[in-house]
Amino acid sequence: MNRFDYVRPASIAEAIAAAAEPGSAYLASGTNLLDLMKGNVVRPARLVDLNHLPGLDGIELLPDGGARIGARVRNADLAYHPEFSRRFPAVAEALLSGASAQLRNAATVGGNLLQRTCCAYFYDPASACNKRDPGAGCDARGGENRLHAVLGWSERCIATHPSDFCVPLAAFGAVVEIEGQFGRREVPLEEFHLLPGETPERESVLAPGELVVALRLPAEAAGFAAHARYVKLRERTSYAFAVVSAAAGLRLENGVIAEARLALGGVAAKPWRARAAEAALAGARPDAASFRRAAEAALAEAAPSGDNAFKIELARRVAARALLLAAAGTPERLPALPASAFAPVPGASLHG
């Protein structure tokens, strides 16, 4: 780990001024940042510690049915908040399917949004990586890339965003509250992360010094609470990143879908909201045929970036599975294995 200067600001304004200096990074819990620093993947000259700032750790349940979550709220505290998980069960399920209990006790909401990709070439300073070292090239192209992106990738970068939490946030229209040197602004989560294009080193809309202070879930997101699920396919039962995942929500009226939400994880450099699939489901019957059509619409523009063509069909099936599980209804209590792809699907076979 490189040497760095340590700054403990007394206010958000002080934090922003300190972090606007080149080479600075914010420190929340550090579960991702310290790991990257130990691997010499990132080498910040200065850490601006957010852990002693007041006002960033509240969970506010808004009277209109929405919620406002401070950026330093710990993943576990949000997931186990009874009223939050009642209103937004797919968000709680996604949180509990991520990382380990120890990491969820430490890791923050803001840090989750800003965690870096789990691409092994990004993590290995001896490999070429345009994200870590702009212009260096990309060893993931033509390398071990079976888990890389199938949507929104570029010749420069085929890495995926590793978050589970962000997938239902994208599906349910979360808004990111940002504070910076020039004031406060809000960005829909769907627009917060950037696709790689020519500049894969730019991963979000944040300008230097800008700080995520809170997240908001709008009231209409709670309208899906009765039919909201997250499904995550991973290479071992627990404590693994998603190969592909999907968050699904349905609003059913008189046996038909009044409104649907669908977002995919593990497929792109950002959580992937599948608006074409949502449009295809409006007015449809909540059955396997409708869900398969929606899943095909969601992946219509997908293309392999290497040895990962299998992920496209896998993502269709996981999307359809999440929609089927959502249609069957949110369980009273989250299952023992949150978001498991092997949970029984009521009225349907596990395969196919």
Partner 1 sequence: MSLPITLTVNGVPQRIVLDDPRVTLLDLLRERLDLTGTKKGCDRGQCGACTILVDGRRVNSCLALAISHDGAEITTIEGLARDGELHPVQAAFIAHDAFQCGFCTPGQIMSAVGLIAEGQAGTDPERVREGMSGNLCRCAAYRGITEAVIEAQETMGQAGRQEAA
Contact 83/66 with Cβ under 8 angstroms? Answer: no
Report 106-135 residues binding partner 1 (CB under 8 A): 106
Please count the residues of this chain forming the interface with partner 1, following the rule CB under 8 A: 32
Beta pairing class for 183-188 and 175-180: antiparallel
Please tell me whether residue 101 binds partner 1 under the rule CB under 8 A: yes
Question: Which residue lies nearer to partner 1 by CB, 61 or 103?
Answer: 103
State in angstroms the smallest separation of the CB of 322 from partner 1: 20
Chain centroid to CA 89: how far? 15
End-to-end, the C-alpha distance of the chain in Å comes to: 48
Q: How far is the CB of 259 from partner 1 (least distance, A)?
A: 32
| Those residues with Cβ within 8 angstroms of residue 240's Cβ, 6 or more apart along the chain or in another chain | 234
| CB 27, min distance to partner 1, A | 6
The answer to whether 345 contacts partner 1 (rule: CB under 8 A) is no
Question: Between residues 10 and 300, which has the closer beta carbon with respect to partner 1?
Answer: 10
In sequence order, what are the beta bridge partners of 5?
Answer: 46
CB of 31 to partner 1, least distance (A): 5
Place of tokens 């007394």: 10
The 56-95 contact track toward partner 1, x by CB under 8 A, reads: --------------------x---x---------------
Cα–Cα distance for residue pair 277/62, rounded to 1 Å: 30
Specify the stretch interacting with partner 1 by CB under 8 A; choose among 96-104, 247-255, 259-267, 296-304: 96-104
Give min distance, CB of 135 to partner 1, in A: 28
Among positions 100, 136, 331, 342, the unique one binding partner 1 when judged by CB under 8 A = 100
- Least distance (Å) between residue 63 CB and partner 1: 28
Cβ distance to partner 1 smaller for residue 181 or 237 = 237
Nearest to 172 by CA among 105, 112, 242, 225: 225
Q: Which is nearer to partner 1, 32 or 290 (CB)?
A: 32
Cα angle, residue 53 at apex, residues 51 and 59 outer, rounded to 5°: 85
Hey, which residues between 19 and 48 contact partner 1 (CB under 8 A)? 27, 29-31, 34-35, 38-39, 47
Contact by Cβ (8 Å): 165, 95: yes
* Position 52, amino acid: H
CA distances from 117 to 169, 185, 187, 281 (A): 18, 25, 21, 31
Q: Does 307 bind partner 1 (CB under 8 A)?
A: no
Q: How far is the CB of 78 from partner 1 (least distance, A)?
A: 14
Q: Is 103 in contact with 112 (CB distance < 8 Å)? A: no
Distances (CA, A) of 173 to 40, 274, 283, 296: 35, 12, 20, 22
105 binds partner 1 (CB under 8 A): yes
- In this structure, the strands spanning 46-49 and 5-7 are parallel
Residues 6+ apart with CB under 8 A from 215: 68, 69, 71, 109, 110, 113, 169, 174, 175, 176, 177, 189
Q: Which is nearer to partner 1, 34 or 205 (CB)?
A: 34
Nearer of residues 98 and 152 to partner 1, judged by Cβ: 98
Are the CB atoms for 267 and 244 separated by under 8 Å? yes
Mark residues 228-267: x for contact with partner 1 by CB under 8 A, - for none: ---------xxx----------------------------
CB of 340 to partner 1, least distance (A): 9
The answer to whether residue 6 forms part of the interface with partner 1 (CB under 8 A) is: yes
Please check whether residue 46 is in contact with residue 24, taking contact to mean a CB–CB distance below 8 angstroms. yes
Question: Minimal distance in Å, beta carbon 343 to partner 1?
Answer: 12
- Interface residues with partner 1 (CB under 8 A) are 1, 3-6, 27, 29-31, 34-35, 38-39, 47, 49, 51-52, 76, 80, 99-103, 105-106, 237-239, 336-338
